[in-house]
Structure 1
Amino acid sequence: MSRVHDMGGRFGDGPVEVDAADAPVFKEDWHGRALALTLASAALGKWNIDTSRHARERLAPQDYSRFSYYEKWIAGATDLLVETGVLTPEDLDTPEAEAPRHELADRALTPERVARVLSAGGPADRTCDVVKMFKPGDKVRTLAKAGNRFVDGGHTRLPSYAAGAVGEVVRFHGTHVFPDRSAHGLGEAPEPLYAVAFAASDLWVVAEDDGDEVILDLWQSYLEPAP
C-alpha cells in the first residue's frame, strides 16, 4: 500500500507551476530557515538522507495534505529529533534562552562550517559485489507492485505509477546505497543504479503529450529483463 506522498501523475492536482527565472529562491523568509534547520539537524549524524525523506513521507495523511512544502520539512525534522532522542517534546516548548547546553552542541553546524559541509555533500556511491545485470539500451520491466519489501510501509524509490511498466535503460550510474534498507537502519546494501526512460503513454492512459517520457533512477532490485 502506498503512502499519501506517492501521488505522481495523479488526476485532479492541476499543472505544475514553474516559477519565473528571476523569482526569489524562497518565497517566505522562514522557508530558508526551515531548510537550514533541516540540514543543521541532519549534520548531527543521527540519521541519513533516506531516513529524512521517509520521515516526511510518513506524516499523517491529513497533515501531509494540508502542510506546505517547508512545513513538511519542519515536521519531518521535528519527528526525527524526538525519535532519535536529540530532543524531547518538552524541549520543543522551551525557549532557547532557557535551554541548557545540549550534549551535542559541539557538533552544531556553525556558520563557518556551512560552505565546507554543503560542498562535501553526502555521496551515496559505494563499491559492492552485486553483479550489474543491465546496460544502456536494455529493455527492463519494473516490479509489478511498488513498495518496500523489508519494512511494511517503508521507504522506496519506485513510484507506484511506474510499477509493472516497461522502459529502456539510458544510463548506468554505478553502485549506490539502497534506500529501501538505508532509511530503516538495515545497512547500506549498495547495488547497481540505472536511469530508465518510460514513454508517458505507457504510464498513463492519457498522457499530456504522446512524445513525452519520464526518466527514473531505479535500483537493480526494482527491475527485471523485459522481453
Structure 2
Amino acid sequence: MPVLTKDMVDALVRTGASARSHEAVPPRFGVGQQVRAKNLNPTTHTRLARYVRGKVGTIDRDHGVFALPDTMAHGGGECPQHVYSVTFRAQELWGLHASAVDTVCIDMWDDYLEAV
C-alpha cells in the first residue's frame, strides 16, 4: 500500500479502506494466553499505548492479519501480522487503588507483545 497522499483522501473517505492482509501469517499467541506489552519508546509512529507498556494482559481475541501502522507510516511496507484484543485488569494498569473488577481491552499488533 502506498503512502497516503492528498489526492487519495477523498476516495478513501468515500469508499473506506482496510489494512487487513490476506497473507498467511501464523499467530504467535492464542486466546487465553498471557502476554506482556513491550516497553518500546520509539522516536517514530506507534499505536502502542504508553499506559500498557510493560503490563501483563490476556489475549481475548485474534482479529486476523493486518498491516502494521508503524511501518506503513514511514513507507516501510505492510509488515503483516496478527492483531489481538488484549484485556488488562485495571489494577495492573493503574495500581491497587483502581477497581478490582474493571478491565480495559486494547487491540495490539504482534510486534507490541511478548510471551510471559
TM bucket, shorter chain: 0.7 to 0.9
Which of 16, 28, 35 lines up with 1:121 in the alignment? 16
**Larger helix fraction of residues:** 1
Q: What TM-score, normalized by structure 1, do the two folds share?
A: 0.45
User: 3-state DSSP class of the match of 1:210?
Assistant: coil
Which residue in the other structure is 1:172 paired with?
62
Which AA in structure 2 matches 1:184?
H
Q: Is residue 47 from structure 1 mapped to residue 21 from structure 2 by the alignment?
A: no
Question: Could you tell me how far 1:129 is from its partner in structure 2?
Answer: 4.4
**Size of the alignment, in residue pairs?**
114
Q: What TM-score, normalized by structure 2, do the two folds share?
A: 0.84
* Percent of residue pairs identical: 36
Structure 1 residues 46 and 192: CA distance shift in structure 2, 3 A: closer
**Which structure would you say has the larger RCO, counting Cα contacts within 8 Å and 6 or more residues apart?**
2
Deviating above 2 A after TM superposition, structure 1's stretches of 4 or more consecutive aligned residues are: 127-131
Q: Distance in 1 between matches of 2:9 and 2:50?
A: 38
Q: Distance in 1 between matches of 2:4 and 2:61?
A: 29
Contact 1:147 1:158 in 2 (8 A): no
Which residue in the other structure is 2:27 paired with?
132
Question: Could you tell me how far 1:46 is from its partner in structure 2?
Answer: 5.9
For each residue in 1:151-182, what CA deviation from the matched residue of structure 2 results, as whole angstroms up to 9, or x when unmatched? Answer: xx211111111111111001000000101101
User: 3-state DSSP class of the match of 1:221?
Assistant: helix
How do 1:76-225 residues align onto structure 2 when only pairs under 5 Å count?
A: 109=10, 117-118=13-14, 120-143=15-38, 145-148=39-42, 153-205=43-95, 206-207=97-98, 209-225=99-115
For each residue in 1:184-217, what CA deviation from the matched residue of structure 2 results, as whole angstroms up to 9, or x when unmatched? Answer: 111111111100000010011232x221111110
Consecutive unaligned residues in structure 1, runs of 5 or more: 1-44, 49-80, 82-103
Q: Distance in 1 between matches of 2:3 and 2:54?
A: 35
